[in-house]
Amino acid sequence: MYDIEALYEAESVNHAIALLEEHQEARIIAGGSDVLIQIREGRLADSVLVSIQKLNVLRGISLEEDGTIRIGALTSFSQIAQDRLIQKHLGVLAEAVSLIGGPQIRNIGTIGGNTCNGVSSADSAATLMALDAVMEYQGNEGIRQVPIQAHYVGAGKTALNHGELLTAISIPQESYRSCYGHYLKYAMRNAMDIATLGCSVNVRLTEDKQRLERVRIGFGVAGPVPMRSPGAEAAVQGKPISEETLNEAGTVALTDVQPRSSWRASRELRLQLVEELTKRALRCSIRHAGGLI
């Protein structure tokens, strides 16, 4: 049983913004894979919803003139995983979203919904962190660009103001040019499960494939929000490719995270996973980039 007080269907982005302004208690619904579950569980009683399902302008993936890859907020996980532009330049993102739920969820779930619910376990979030993604918000005062690290402000909370809509997620060319990545998800099951911990690494090697020129390391469920590991990134950037470098990345990453215990896993297990997944994801990324290790 769904306890919904009212459902409004937006005809345009501006109409959606106007509906949100008119109904201060309203929530956006896109694919509904998160919101409808919360309503059914009684966590969103008497909900007022603004549906943006008709807004096809928010779907699709494009390459901008400056090389930025722009992903519309309503683009489904299946569309992202199958898109040729994504497969060519952002294979790690295709890899990450392919681990979300099952085929039905991936067909209806959207990248915007996955990032706007604010949860740390969102499979796309760690990879978008490692890709230095930029979130595009639109409201009555226009469009603002928000780095993904500023998008998450607390457990289940984002920087979106009421009356604002996430319209797109952009990946700058610097984040994918000659870069290769890998996402690892540790969960109790191989499918249809929430991550106990997720780690995504993105690297660029030097021309001779001997050193790490650029490194980004993102985590999910390693703290209250998806996060980067700036300490580990700085510790290994410029270092030669070696087991010692991998071990250093895993050790230093422990100083950047704040995992907690839950019914899924203890804090101690998550710390062990942070160290191990960092090393494994970094190793795979280096190999994808043509490095030998």
- C-alpha Rg value of the chain to the nearest Å: 19
Instruction: Give 141: exposed, middle or buried? Use CB within 10 Å, 0-12, 13-18, 19+.
Output: exposed
CA angle 164, 117, 86 (to 5 degrees): 90
Is residue 119 very low, low, confident or very high in pLDDT (cuts 50, 70, 90)? confident
Calpha distance 85→69 (Å, rounded): 8
Give the CATH fold of the 179-288 domain. Enolase-like; domain 1 (3.30.390)
Q: Which pLDDT score, from 0 to 100, does residue 42 have? A: 66
d(CA 64, CA 68): 5
| Rounded mean pLDDT, 156-177 | 95
Q: Does the pLDDT of residue 112 top 60, yes or no?
A: yes
Percent of the chain with pLDDT over 90: 80
Which of 96, 55, 87, 95 lies closest to 69, judged by CA?
87
pLDDT band for position 25 (50/70/90)? Answer: confident
State the pLDDT confidence band at 13, using cuts at 50, 70 and 90. very high
Domains 4-51 and 56-174 share a fold: no
Per-residue pLDDT at 41 = 66
Q: What's the pLDDT band for 4 if we cut at 50, 70, 90?
A: confident
| pLDDT computed for residue 191 by the predictor | 74
Residues 13/159, Cβ–Cβ less than 8 Å: no
CA 113 – CA 133 distance, rounded (Å)? 15
By C-alpha distance, which of 216, 207, 223 is closest to 273? 223
> Over pLDDT 70: what percentage of the chain?
98
- For the stretch 59-108, pLDDT in tens is 999 999 999 999 999 999 999 999 999 999 999 999 999 999 888 989 99
Specify the higher pLDDT residue, 44 or 204. 204
Supply angle C-alpha 215, 158, 4, rounded to 5: 135
- What Cα–Cα distance (Å) separates residue 264 from each residue in 25, 118, 189, 260, 268? 32, 19, 12, 10, 12
Q: What would be the CATH architecture of the domain defined by 4-51?
A: 2-Layer Sandwich (3.30)
Strands 152-154 and 157-158, how do they pair? antiparallel
Range of weakest confidence among 26-40, 112-126, 182-196, 251-265: 26-40
Element spanning 81, H or E: helix 77-82
* pLDDT, position 202: 98
Distance set, CA 32 to CA 7, 28, 63, 141, 177 (Å): 13, 9, 28, 27, 34
Tokens at residue 281, please? Answer: 């994801």
Q: Is the pLDDT of residue 158 over 60?
A: yes
Give the residue extent of every domain in the chain.
4-51, 56-174, 179-288
Per-residue model confidence as pLDDT tens digits over 198-215: 999 999 999 999 999 999
Beta strand segments in the chain, E:
4-9, 27-29, 47-51, 61-63, 69-72, 134-139, 142-147, 152-154, 157-158, 165-171, 180-186, 197-205, 212-220, 227-228
Q: What is the pLDDT of residue 245?
A: 98
Determine the residue type at 140.
N
Backbone angles phi, psi at 106, to 5 degrees: -70, -25
Token reading at 71: 């992903």
Query: Is pLDDT at 222 greater than 90 in this prediction?
Result: yes
Question: What pLDDT is stored for residue 94 in this prediction?
Answer: 97
- Over residues 30-58, the mean pLDDT reads 81
CA distance 229 to 218: 6
**pLDDT of residue 33 exceeding 80:** no
Whether the pLDDT of residue 1 is over 80: the answer is no
The class that CATH gives domain 56-174 is alpha beta
Rounded distance, CA 258 to CA 256, Å? 7
CB 181 within 8 A of CB 206: no
